[in-house]
Chain A
Amino acid sequence: MNAAADRRDLSWWVDKVAQILVLAGGLSAIVFIVGIFLFIGREGAGFIFEGFSLREFLLSPRWTPTSNHNPTFGALALIAGTASVTGLAMVVAVPFSLGAAIYIGEFATGRGRETLKVLVELLAAIPSVVWGFVGLSIMNPLIVRVFDAPVGLNVLNSGIILGLMAAPIMTTIAEDALKAVPDTYREAAEAMGATRWQVILKVVLPAGRNGLVAATLLGVGRGFGETMAVLMASGHAVNLPTSPFDAVRALTATIAAELGETAEGSEHWQALFTLGIFLFLVTFTINFLADVFVRGGLPGRRRRGRRPVASANP
């Protein structure tokens, strides 16, 4: 009788197949990340191991890969371009996104809150080329008029555009971080007579600190990796910026603009892939740090595992 019951029926096989499919999905993430790294590593390898000087790459601002006599591959200006734009973007994005997250998470209620969340997500879905277009056609003349600058395509322009681009995703993550703060904390502080602002400042923000840092880091990662909008709004000139009104060129924009014009396998080609490796390492580090902050030591989360002692039945 048991022999008849012990049979691998359809649901057993479905379960087995589903397990394998899900496993394959999970593994694919690892395969792709390793694959991409191997690919850009291989393309850049020739340059790194032959003509490469780390010193020149990191410290020289001269990026003249197409020079006939003396091509140079100094990425300092490009790194400075990306860093200055990203830095300014964070100055714009952090207050915006933190304010929006606090409003959505702590003040807005009901329909207003849902509407705002949808709008923020919609904002995150605007294609970057549209942002670049805004930078080119709206911000550009505006900066020229307001600041009396000779050109409006510069660090200021692309920093603001990039900040507005990064703010929605940072808002979403920061709001998640605030939502993870248990309501019991808020209630305990409110019962003490803390005002709403005091509750946010003294209890909610410190408790959500790790998530907020992670949100900022992910915004930085977004800034480093963004290409099209920066290409369109930054002026795309190899230049060590000394003021927000200087045109700069970003690492990503350089790759996007030059790779199509380069002979496959040439030194220039390999140098562009080296830029790619550098970008990959930077964004990898930033994401890793963000992950550490998301997991790291949020005291409220650690407590959650503890079950209260059951009370005696009255």
Chain B
Amino acid sequence: MVAGQDQAAAAPAIDVADLAIRYGGQLALAGVTLQVPRNEIFGIIGPANSGKTSFLRAVNRMDLLTPGMTVEGSVSVEGKEVRSWRNAYALRRRIGVVFPLPVGLPMTIYENVALSARLRGTRNRSDLDVIVERCLRRAALWDEVKDRLDSLGSLLSGGQQQRLTIARALSQDPSILLLDEFSIAVDPVTTMRIEEVLAELRAEMTIVMVTNLVQQARRLASQTAFFLTGELVEVGETETLFEGGARDERTTAYLEGKFG
């Protein structure tokens, strides 16, 4: 038993082998094998329709909620195959997700961040207060909203809503954070602030960051994977890839902005 636990503790945050994803028989992603080490920011880049979002959906078992989506191969989170979880909800609670477009749920700012704790049965108001303040501070939003926690989260600006979404994801106390093109609806200044937040969070959790901005991957990710039309072209140290050390010429071409 002890050996098993050690093994689980040493296992990579996400271990994917021969992953293939189909939507109603249509292949969206195939032949993906990669490891995401713990406490690292792992970048995934690639043009639209390359399977990046599908990859994230397979990790937190959103395939269960997507009619027609099937997953083959193996996806392990911290040493445990995700499809062996009998309670997929419990798996998802350990994985925070930030979507491309900010989703401020139609409730107050406070309730947005307290929701996850409430769903787990936390009722004590002062416990919730602590969680809400801590998560909003870590998402660099506290100072802007501390005086209006009771106003609607969906009325915040796009950049603020995206930080609210991050605060909500952090409130799950996740060990893995999945970010799907989080800066697509966010202004450059807010993007930089969120990037600073992510750099700090690296110490506490593993971050998988899908991005359509290659420079964002360069700034943050220690390793980067390049997806192209449903295929993992290559994965390597971010610096190596950007310094011209890519093994595949398509990677070099994409990083140089020749397509995509």
Q: Which residues of A contact B (CB under 8 A)?
A: 109, 184-185, 187-195, 198, 202-203, 206-207, 298-300, 302-303, 306, 308-309, 311-312, 314
Contact = CB atoms under 8 A, between A and B. Distances in A.
Nearest to A184: B103
Interface string B200-220: 000000000000111000000
Interface of B: 45, 47, 60, 62, 65, 67, 89-97, 99, 101, 103-107, 115-116, 118-119, 152, 154-155, 158, 165, 168-169, 172, 181, 183-188, 212-214, 257, 260
Closest 4 CB pairs of A and B: A193-B93, A308-B185, A193-B92, A191-B97
Nearest to A192: B116
A302 B156 CA distance: 12
17 contacts: A109-B67, A185-B103, A188-B97, A188-B105, A188-B165, A190-B62, A191-B95, A191-B99, A193-B91, A193-B94, A194-B89, A198-B119, A207-B105, A308-B184, A309-B185, A311-B181, A314-B213
B13 to A, nearest CB: 17
B154 A303 contact: yes
A156 to B, nearest CB: 39
Contacts of B185: 308-309, 311
A195 B90 CA distance: 9
Contacts of B213: 311-312, 314
B105 A185 contact: yes
A314 B257 CA distance: 7
B92 A191 contact: yes
Nearest to B112: A188
A184 B90 contact: no
Contacts of B91: 193
A203 to B, nearest CB: 6
A311 B90 contact: no
B104 A314 contact: no
Given A309-B186, A314-B260, A206 B106 contact: yes
Given A190-B62, A190-B65, A206 B260 contact: no
B108 to A, nearest CB: 10
Contacts of A300: 106, 154
A191 B116 CA distance: 10
A309 B158 contact: yes
Contacts of B169: 192
A202 B47 contact: no
A203 B119 contact: no
A302 B96 CA distance: 27
Contacts of A206: 106-107
Contact of A193 (B89, B99, B101, B118): B89
A306 B154 CA distance: 11
A189 B47 contact: no
A307 to B, nearest CB: 9
A195 B99 CA distance: 19
B57 to A, nearest CB: 9
A299 B154 contact: yes
Nearest to B259: A314
Nearest to A182: B103
Contacts of A109: 67
Nearest to B60: A191
Contacts of A202: 115, 118-119
Contacts of B165: 188
B112 to A, nearest CB: 10
Given A109-B67, A311-B184, 15 more contacts: A187-B99, A188-B168, A189-B105, A191-B97, A192-B115, A193-B89, A193-B90, A195-B89, A202-B118, A202-B119, A299-B154, A311-B185, A314-B212, A314-B257, A314-B260
A264 B260 CA distance: 81
A302 B154 contact: yes
A185 B106 contact: yes
Nearest to A110: B67
Nearest to B65: A190
Contacts of B105: 185, 188-189, 203, 207
A179 B133 CA distance: 33
Most buried by B among A188, A189, A299: A188
The listed residue with most B CB atoms (<10 A of its CB), out of A109, A185, A195, A309, is A309
B51 to A, nearest CB: 16
A88 to B, nearest CB: 33
A202 B118 CA distance: 10
A299 B165 CA distance: 17
Nearest to B90: A193
B62 A191 contact: yes
Given A188-B165, A194-B119, A314-B212, A299 B97 contact: no
B186 A193 contact: no
Contacts of B99: 184, 187-188, 191
Nearest to B64: A190
